[in-house]
Amino acid sequence: MTPYHIDFQPVGRRGECKDNDSLLDCARQLGAGISNVCGGKGKCQSCRVKVVKGATTDATQSEEKLFSRDELGQGWRLACQAYPKDDCRIEIPPESMTSPQRTQVEGLEIAVAPDPPVRTFRLKLSTPTLSDARADADRLLASLKEQQGVECSKIDGEVLTSLSPSLRSWNWECRVALRSNEVISISPLRSLSLGLAIDLGSTKIAAYLVSLEDGKTLASKGVMNPQISYGEDIISRMDAAMKSPLEGKKLQKLVVDAINELAHDLCKEIGRVGEEILETVLVGNTAMHHLFLGLPVVQLALSPYVPAASMALDYKARDLGLRFASGTYVHLLPNIAGYVGGDHVAVLLALKAAEIQGLTLALDIGTNTEVSLIDSNRISSVSCASGPAFEGYQIKHGMRAGRGAIEKVRISDGEIQYQTIDAAPPVGICGSGVLDILAEMYSSGIIDKGGRILEGHPRVRDQNGYREFVLIDENEIGGRPAIILTQEDIRHLQLAKAAIRAGIQILLDVNDKSEKEIDNVIIAGAFGSYIDLSSAITIGMLPDLPLNRYRQVGNAAGTGARLALISSAMRAESRNLASQVHYVELGTAPQFNDTFIRACYLGDLNRIDGLRKDASTHV
């Protein structure tokens, strides 16, 4: 068995693969995510790829049925049906990627020269004598100037407290960490310069341990945000904090403890300790930011939704309860508005660093969806109250994206095909799944443009006077409860998608642009990475643009946080970006209500009053 060399593009995954593996198997092994709903049976067509170089097995029957002769001639195949017979180069189209091009920002090493706000210097001090009995602190600062040419006049209070015994136990050799004009840490020579970037989401906390010397990510990890015990949505957490300062403190401590644990786990992974962390950047939405800092949220929760602070902030890590190097700081990127936080600024920063050209729409889809329209140096942003439907809440059989969640659905010839997370037996539907179902039901004519479930389909039934669509019935999963989508579920989804689409439209209107002028649509965030773009376009949540204008970039907020961590220039740029943003409050936009109502209809917003476009062409 000769191993073949397979090169998947544009994700840039390449490696060797055995000749009894399909292209799909091969892609899985190399981590090039190709969509796969039917389980490799050649039925769902979601794994379409183009063989641009090298030989594969001949087209199967199902492929011949799916592709035209021309298409087959161009190299189009189903990855699950084709087996390499030679070294190959395979192109994965955006619609076939599970998280298409997510690595474009996350994996892509953006060319930023490390220029961290914390610098370290190695020093060898002279030993005090009766004729040179200068104070230890003064001797340290003098050596810094003499040996490194660095002027510094301030030493953190805790560093000062440990300075005298430390210098003596290290035989007057040490490593000094400076942040602007302050010594924030001294350590033995063998310590590292570690930085920590944190994306504090309402659901998940992602942490990246970064070398401040070369900017490389050394380890990363995500954990659930433990504040979830107070409620899945941020409103219930703000409610708790508003009710009593003690609850606010508890919410703060939950996150602080989680970050401490994350940081210490990450350091342990590379054989270091959390006390070597010299700088931290944290991004989060405005509510998470406030709860983390212990800032009041009552004025944020109520109209006109005023943050306590939007400017970039620096806190001593220890003042927040974080156990890092003694005098180290946590930097928080600026917020834009009450519902557009530093995490969105981080997304804008990552896009800026990636030098994305042209009119760009950037979305971070969640319970609250932040949308920005970037036109060179002009940035407008809105916040859309999209609600938690896309996170599986408010949906009868909705669930988080966990094991057994239906994440992908196709309805073809009335037959339901679905894919679950970890290929486990289905237990519910997660966000990307409900989006697919809605699109497929609409494309298949099971619901109308207004979202009404129509009579006639074998899976449509009336239950206690309410109509519902049976995705999987009891018999199909061995007598376990059926998984259904109700009329009410559909209404929630319509409101959610309408909120996003209306927000986009207002941004376009305010900037006097049409959707066709958009060069790039950047979809950031976990949910956005997993959705099927075609489905999102079909229902009219996203503008009807060629798929190649779309990029699903994964956790761009985390990338932005890392950039601000390792580069002072990028940090300054984040302040610059935040100050440039023209925040559009949808509540004050006169045309918002009309737009929102139109956007509740399924299909392309711009054709709502005309003919419904055949959405199936996107699938």
Q: What gap in Å lies between CA 282 and CA 335, rounded to an integer?
A: 12
Min. distance of Cβ 283 from a copy of itself in angstroms?
16
Strand partners, 88: 6
Name the DSSP letter for residue 409. E
What are the distances in angstroms from CA 363 to CA 5, 126, 199?
36, 56, 16
Structural tokens at position 108: 């892509």
What does DSSP assign to residue 97? B
Q: Which of 95, 136, 279, 532 binds a copy of itself (CB under 8 A)?
A: 136
C-alpha distances in Å from residue 137, one per residue of 100, 179, 223 = 54, 16, 40
Interface pattern 4-23 for a copy of itself (x via CB under 8 A): --------------------
Q: Which residue of 52, 189, 246, 298 would you call a contact of a copy of itself, by CB under 8 A?
A: 298
Shortest approach of a copy of itself to residue 582 CB, angstroms?
A: 12
Residue (77 or 290) nearer to a copy of itself, CB: 290
**The one among 587, 591, 593, 594 contacting a copy of itself by CB under 8 A:** 587
User: Which among 218, 237, 186, 487 has a CA at the least distance from the CA of 367?
Assistant: 237
CB of 72 or CB of 242, closer to a copy of itself: 242
Among 74, 126, 147, 164, binds a copy of itself (CB under 8 A): 164
Q: 263, 293, 333, 411: which one contacts a copy of itself (CB under 8 A)?
A: 293
- Could you tell me where the DSSP H helices lie in 468-609? 487-510, 526-530, 533-538, 556-566, 568-580, 592-599
From the list 206-214, 350-358, 460-468, 584-592, the region that binds a copy of itself by CB under 8 A is 584-592
Smallest distance from a copy of itself to CB 296, Å: 5
Q: Is residue 155 near a copy of itself by the rule CB under 8 A?
A: yes
The sheet that has 550-554: what strands, in order across it? Answer: 550-554, 520-524, 360-364, 369-375, 378-384, 582-583
Both tokens of 390, joined, read 């896309």
- R_g of the chain, CA atoms, integer Å: 27
Smallest gap from Cβ 562 to a copy of itself, in A, equals 24
Cα 309 to Cα 307: distance, rounded to the nearest angstrom: 5
Nearer to a copy of itself, 294 or 540 (CB): 294
- Which of 58, 64, 138, 422: binder of a copy of itself (CB under 8 A)? 138
Contacts for 121 with CB less than 8 Å, ≥ 6 apart: 144, 147, 148, 150, 175, 176, 178
Count of residues binding a copy of itself (CB under 8 A)?
47
Interface with a copy of itself, residue 130, by CB under 8 A = yes
Name the segment binding a copy of itself (CB under 8 A); options: 55-63, 157-165, 435-443, 532-540.
157-165
Member of 135, 224, 454, 597 binding a copy of itself (CB under 8 A): 135
User: Is residue 153 near a copy of itself by the rule CB under 8 A?
Assistant: yes
Asked if 325 and 264 touch (Cβ cutoff 8 Å), the reply is no
Q: Any idea which residue has 């190399």 for tokens? A: 30
Interhelix angle for 286-293 vs 245-269, to 10°? Answer: 100
Least distance CB 376 / a copy of itself (angstroms): 24
Interface region with a copy of itself, contact rule CB under 8 A, candidates 108-116, 287-295, 392-400, 412-420? 287-295
> What is d(CA 43, CA 29) in angstroms, rounded to the nearest whole number?
22
Question: Which range, of 188-196, 290-298, 397-405, 515-523, touches a copy of itself by CB under 8 A?
Answer: 290-298
Q: Does 168 bind a copy of itself (CB under 8 A)?
A: yes
Q: Which residues, including other chains, have CB under 8 Å from residue 2's CB and lie 6 or more apart? A: 19
Instruction: Tell which positions 338-377 bind a copy of itself, by CB under 8 A.
Output: 338
β-sheet with 154-155: strand ranges across: 118-124, 173-179, 182-187, 154-155
Per-residue mark of binding to a copy of itself, 598-617 (x: CB under 8 A): --------------------
**One symbol per residue from 299 to 318: x for binding a copy of itself (CB under 8 A), - otherwise; what is it?**
x---xxxxxxxxx-xxx---
- How far is the C-alpha of 411 from the C-alpha of 62, rounded, in Å? 16
Residue 129 engages a copy of itself in binding (rule: CB under 8 A): yes
Least distance from C-beta 480 to a copy of itself, angstroms? 48
Among the listed residues 262, 266, 295, 351, the single contact to a copy of itself using CB under 8 A: 295
Please say which residue, 381 or 559, places its beta carbon nearer to a copy of itself.
381
Tell the smallest beta-carbon distance from residue 75 to a copy of itself (Å).
Answer: 54
Cβ atoms of 370 and 333 within 8 Å: the answer is no
Pairing of strands 313-316, 277-284: unpaired
Partnered with residue 466 across adjacent β-strands are 463
Residue appearing with tokens 């060399």: 5
* C-beta closer to a copy of itself: residue 131 or 377: 131
**Local structure of residue 77 (DSSP, 8 states):** E
For residue 467, the surrounding DSSP H or E stretch is: strand 466-472
- Asked if 588 interacts with a copy of itself (CB under 8 A), we say yes
The angle at the Cα of 143, spanning 141 to 148, to the nearest 5 degrees, equals 100
Pick 339 or 527: Cβ nearer a copy of itself: 339
**134 is an interface residue for a copy of itself by CB under 8 A:** yes
Which residues form the interface with a copy of itself (CB under 8 A)? 128-138, 141, 153-155, 157, 160-161, 163-165, 168, 293-296, 298-299, 303-311, 313-315, 319, 335, 337-338, 585, 587-588
